[in-house]
Each structure stands twice: as C-alpha cells, then as structure tokens.
C-alpha cells in the first residue's frame, strides 16, 4: 500500500516559508556539520509530490536537488512550464490527492514525499499521510506560509522520537494514528 510522508523545516512560529515562498531564514542557519537525516529520508522514498509554489522555489536553487521523480500538483502550470533539462524528471498533475496516490501506486510507487504547505494540508485532510518529520528552526519570522492550517477534523499523532542538534534545531518524528 502506498503511504505519504512529510519532512519539513519550520520556524518556531510555525511557518515553512515566507509569503513569497522564500527560504532565506532557513539558509541563515549554520548547520553544515549536522546530519538531519535528509539523505536517509530521500533514500526511503520513491517519488515527490509538491505544489507549484514549492516547485518555483526549488527552481531557484543553484542545482536541482532531487534524483527521484517529482510530481507538481498545479491547476495553472502545464508540462511546457517545466524547464527543458527537467522534462524527464518533473511531471505536472491536476489530480486530487487521493486520485494521485492511486495513480502513483499503479505505477509501483510505495512511499511518497509530500512537500509544500497547501499540499501537505490537503494530503493530511484526506488521510494520506503516515508520518511527519518536522524540524523546528529557532527563528521567528512573524508571517508566511503555515505548515498546518484548517483541517476537516483532528488528526491524532504519536511522537516517535525527538532529536536535538547543536545549532538549536529540534526534529520531532510523528506517526499518524
């Protein structure tokens, strides 16, 4: 059975990005000597699903960071909006989360990395997330895109582990009950 998984960094006040999708607050952190488990997490997943805002942010990075297939959920982007060098790595989809997960499962995928504030919220609301790995960054930015917002119902979580880092980052691993 296919499962959705989240690995996100957020500010202490609960934002995953600024309103313009900027991650400058995250880039300020001096964490170069710390292993926060991103490589191990990426090795455990088959495919990434993100929203158009996250996709546009990642396009601004110096290098494309993913070697796994990426599905961008968007009602405004088309495949022609994907840069030529990423055409074989990125796919645009307008499917709803449940339909997309069924489609990905039919392709043989088992573990999906779900990324982006609104996308995470919709996958959580549809009961498609199995685990959340949330790293809290010790910074307050006051406004931005929230990792969690309106949900249709409460979602019970169980804390599986907590890891503290010398930089002040704290990672909490949760399973969805």
| 3-state class percentages of the chain: helix first, strand second, coil last, to nearest 5 | 25, 30, 45
Could you tell me which residues come within 8 angstroms of residue 13 by beta carbon, excluding any fewer than 6 positions away?
140, 141, 142
Per-residue model confidence (pLDDT) at position 150: 76
Per-residue model confidence (pLDDT) at position 52: 92
Domain ranges of the chain: 3-176
In sequence order, what DSSP letters do the residues of 119-173 get, joined into one string? HHHHHHHTT-EEEEEEEEES---SSSEESS---SS---EEEEEEEE-TTS-EEEE
User: Which residue from 85, 147, 94 is spatially nearest to 121, judged by alpha carbons?
Assistant: 147
Residue 59 CB-half CA count within 13 A: 18
At 150-163, the pLDDT tens digits run: 777 899 999 999 99
| Alpha-carbon span 155 to 4, nearest angstrom | 15
Q: Could you tell me the fold of the domain covering 3-176? A: Dihydrofolate Reductase, subunit A (3.40.430)
Q: Read off the pTM.
A: 0.91
At 4-57, the pLDDT tens digits run: 999 999 999 999 989 988 888 987 776 667 888 889 999 999 999 999 988 998
Structure tokens belonging to residue 73:
């959920």
């Amino acid at each position: 059975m296919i499962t959705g998984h989240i690995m996100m960094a957020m500010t202490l006040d609960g934002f995953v990005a600024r309103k313009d999708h900027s991650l400058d607050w995250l880039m300020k952190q001096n964490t170069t000597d710390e292993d926060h488990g991103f490589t191990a997490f990426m090795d455990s997943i088959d495919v990434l699903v993100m929203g158009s805002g996250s996709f546009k942010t990642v396009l601004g990075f110096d290098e494309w960071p993913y070697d796994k297939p990426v599905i961008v959920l968007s009602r405004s982007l088309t495949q022609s909006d994907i840069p030529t060098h990423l055409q074989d790595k990125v796919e645009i989809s307008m499917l709803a989360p449940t339909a997309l997960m069924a489609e990905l499962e039919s392709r043989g995928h088992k573990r999906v990395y779900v990324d982006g504030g609104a996308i995470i919220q919709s996958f959580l609301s549809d009961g498609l997330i199995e685990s959340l790995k949330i790293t809290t960054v010790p910074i307050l930015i006051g406004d931005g895109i929230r990792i969690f917002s309106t949900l249709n119902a409460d979602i019970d979580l169980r804390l599986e582990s907590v890891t503290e880092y010398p930089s002040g980052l704290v990672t909490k691993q949760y399973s969805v009950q």
